[in-house]
Amino acid sequence: MSDHFAHPAYPVGLRLTGRRVVVLGGGTVAQRRLPALLAAGADVLVIAPSATPSVEAMAEAGELRWERRAYRPGDLDGAWYAVVATDDAGTNAAASAEAEERRVWCVRSDDADAATAWTPATGRSEGVTVAVLTGRDPRRSAAVRDAVVEGLRDGTLTAPRHRARRAGVALVGGGPGDPDLITVRGRRLLAEADVVIADRLGPRDLLDELPPHVEVIDAAKIPYGRAMAQEAINAALVEHARAGRFVVRLKGGDPYVFGRGMEEAQALAEAGIPVTVVPGISSSVSVPGAAGIPVTHRGVAHEFTVVSGHVAPGDPRSLVDWAALAKLRGTLVMLMAVERIGAIAEALVEHGRAPDTPVAVVQEGTMAGQRRVDATLATVARTVEEEGVRPPAVIVVGEVVGVNRAGTGR
């Protein structure tokens, strides 16, 4: 047999939907290869005496068939493709020889020279599959793959689209503020935008990366009366989308966690404009985490509740049952509550929460100006005033506040 490395491999995309693929071995190599084979729609048969928990779970879920035994001659009969990845060199050699005899393309995990096919480093971004082969240097293949995929995802690597431009509006959750915490999909859609309508709590640093032709609109500066704020934003979204522009509504946190995302989605749907919703990392869990506070912790809190504090207890507009919340033993996370924390703390204590319950106030979480102020329900109002805490801030109430400081949370 000629040296496989004498000539470059011929790249090809295998269409494996409904076609039999045999995987010999159930270890970590098989575990890495199986998801892509299943995503390709292959009819996968795993032959191995044992398997990793992940491979076993795929079999139990019916995603593939698993025969718990060693390889036997004839196992590649009817296969279109084979992955040979056992920990026995003799078995691998025998299976590879059978593949050669039956003209089944075969990947070998232990000996690339003896294989008839190589697995490229593969990545995907919005319908584009990137596959990289560098022969004897798989780490370089992975590095090149990662660079290309990341460039496609974040918009730093652009390529002309020979199809219709994206239309409509994307409601993108930008995360808690740190630009690195936006989702991959959110960043990619942002790079495709013609118009960006941004909240002040979104990841503002990302706006500087947009090309000059992108129109950036500060939602806080859209002309409107106080009572018409959301209606004016809805109207701006509809107006720009109807003009044929792709609009990204960049919001802080998650669009549907106190972000009025559904109101905007409904207004766009009523106008007949397609909407894409991209979830974001909510500040309700990410900001406490960034400050060293787990919202749940084994033996401390088995639940957490997220509450908006923009309306004080006792206000007829309030939809929060503060008496019920005070009786819960878990963690209470409050957003938009800095200005009313005094009344909220009083209500919680009045309805049964202990005055010495730990409280942490995290201002500008995940941002360069992040700071954490600790108190109790009895002292938090005074502490917030004395420390000059201002929004945006997330307030955490519960025993989890002291987990890290007690040395048990690391």
pLDDT digit string, tens, across residues 319-345:
999 999 999 999 999 999 999 999 999
Say what the pLDDT of residue 410 is.
31
Question: Who wins on pLDDT, 131 or 49?
Answer: 49
- CA 402 – CA 400 distance, rounded (Å): 5
Q: Is the pLDDT of residue 135 over 80?
A: no
Residue 15 and residue 22: Cα distance in Å, rounded? 15
Q: What is the pLDDT of residue 134?
A: 75
Strand-pairing partners, residue 247, are 169, 195
In DSSP notation, 341-397 reads: HHHHHHHHHHTT--TT-EEEEEESTTSTT-EEEEEETTTHHHHHHHHT--SSEEEEE
SS3 content of the chain, % helix, strand, coil (to 5): 35, 20, 45
Residue 223 has a pLDDT of 64
Catalytically active residues are: 199, 221
Phi, psi of 371 (to 5 degrees): -150, 150
Better pLDDT: 303 or 218: 303
Q: Which helix (H) or strand (E) holds 81?
A: strand 81-84
User: Domain boundaries in the chain?
Assistant: 20-119, 124-154, 169-278, 284-402
pLDDT in tens, 248-275: 999 999 999 999 999 999 999 999 999 9
Mean pLDDT of the chain: 89
> In terms of Cα–Cα distance, which of 383, 337, 340, 336 is closest to 358?
383
pLDDT of 224 higher than 80? no
Give the model's pLDDT for residue 202: 80
Per-residue pLDDT tens digits for 187-219: 889 988 999 999 887 888 888 888 888 999 988
Q: Assess whether pLDDT exceeds 50 at residue 1.
A: no
Residue 225 reports pLDDT greater than 60: no
Give the confidence band of 361 by pLDDT, cuts at 50, 70, 90. Answer: very high
CATH superfamily assigned to domain 20-119: NAD(P)-binding Rossmann-like Domain (3.40.50.720)
Q: How confident is the model at residue 2 (pLDDT cuts 50, 70, 90)?
A: very low
pLDDT value of residue 132? 82
For residue 307, the model assigns a pLDDT of: 97
Give the pLDDT band (50/70/90) at residue 84.
very high
Q: Going by CATH, does the domain composed of 284-402 fall within 3.30.950.10?
A: yes
> For residue 408, what pLDDT is reported?
35
* pLDDT of 150: 78
Q: What is the pLDDT of residue 18?
A: 96
CA distance readout (Å), 249 to 75, 173, 245, 267, 271: 54, 8, 12, 13, 16
Architecture of domain 169-278: 3-Layer(aba) Sandwich (3.40)
Q: How confident is the model at residue 118, as a pLDDT?
A: 84
Task: Output 94 or 12, whichever has higher pLDDT.
Answer: 94
Residue 10 has pLDDT above 60, yes or no: yes
Residues of the chain with pLDDT > 70: what percent?
A: 91
Cα–Cα distance measured from residue 95 to residue 74, given in angstroms and rounded to the nearest whole number:
9
Is the confidence at residue 45, as pLDDT, over 70?
yes
The reported pTM is 0.72
- Pairing assessment for the beta strands 121-125 and 275-278 based on DSSP bridges: unpaired
Q: Which of 278-282, 335-339, 359-363, 404-408 has the lowest mean pLDDT?
A: 404-408
